[in-house]
Structure 1
């Protein structure tokens, strides 16, 4: 697809991004799926629609906290927005001792990204208050942990701007937790990306989707913690678990297990379940042909440029 005024195209792991006149971006969230930094060989039906619509809903629900890049959503899997100059870090915020934070803690390290985690915590316990554990943004390979002090001292972001990013991040996370609570969920951890146009900071990319966030079911959380049981999750973790159960963790020499029609269908249904629980809305499957996609995007761009 070649769009009017197109000045750049970037194909990411799961998204196709078109730059228009160096001013706007058209982001198409594909049905491709990645895990362990590897794009799996088979797309998952409706995954792109699920992620794009969740992100759009949360971008609209947090616009009063920070401006964001979204202008319009011409198609269920497509967003048009402003092109921002991205900050070179991702703002990761954690409300619970889970995932990477837990693995670090369990290994005997009490510090993560310059933040000291309290003694005596169990996996999935709440932190007294959310902690910020930023990472560098890697186009290839893994993102790397980095501390607040390293970000500022290295000049990646000025102290003043970083403090503003911290304030935005914590306010967004608090709003996300409030919304999740209303759905019977706990927003456990997530990441935010920010960019700039001139002196204005914008929230960019996706927000509070199951690919960028982890949710627990609130019901039974306390009992499971008390009994030392695993929490019931609502996230992309089930895909990683299926891959690990079938001998794949993205390591050299490992073969990606076959994603059969049945498996692809199961993963698709899980994503749809995620959508419905997180948004409180019934998912409407929408199929598009290529010509319809292109014409609707072009019409939406014409509207933006009026």
Structure 2
């Protein structure tokens, strides 16, 4: 199990991403430490998913330097990229499962892409990953359409873990989940990080996830990024960061703050409502006075 260290496993320097006339990132610098859970947040259009896709080589930046495991992601050839892809797994927001394949077959896709191994061994690995993410044993035989939203997220995570990666990239992993399922998924990520020594790069809008499992948080603002602990961000006076962490939804996710504000906003407590008298014999309620 790898513990969190100061050693950066991902380095981004001077990143520039533009789409037409819109500049999303301009001179962005970021380091992700080995063994940490880094939450990435920002307003709509700030390029959270673009940053993730750029780091894993799915988006070509206009400028900048990106290293993962000390390897240059931007300049590497296809062979080197395939070698690097064996060391990370990606869970996209919609799960990106193939609807025509069973869960087990979906998990086996990266195994087929990167290795030559007997079908029986692939089946055993798929079954192991199904159990690892907390899915029932028979889930491997089902198709994605037969699963709930939370189970599909877990199936997508199982596929992301198929190659025993060192880094897992998660794009909005709790989006679309009810609070209970989202909390269960947070605990799963936390437990997997602890037991497998994972480094987790997580794009999210979910404040509860930030407070539950993230070691540090990277906030995309002004085409750049600010990285720190939650306590540091809570003291940040940047207008967007302050609104994000101290606004109405921020207070809901950080209940120990602003209790007085919430009580004042709620107004005086309502007067107690007396209980109705019990019914008379025969099940009828007495007439009003």
Higher relative contact order (CA 8 A, sep 6+): 2
Question: Does the TM-score normalized on the shorter chain lie above 0.5?
Answer: no
Flag the structure with larger Rg.
2
Q: Which has the higher strand share?
A: 1
Structure with bigger helix share is: 2
Q: Structure 1-normalised TM-score? A: 0.28
Normalised by the length of structure 2, the TM-score is 0.29
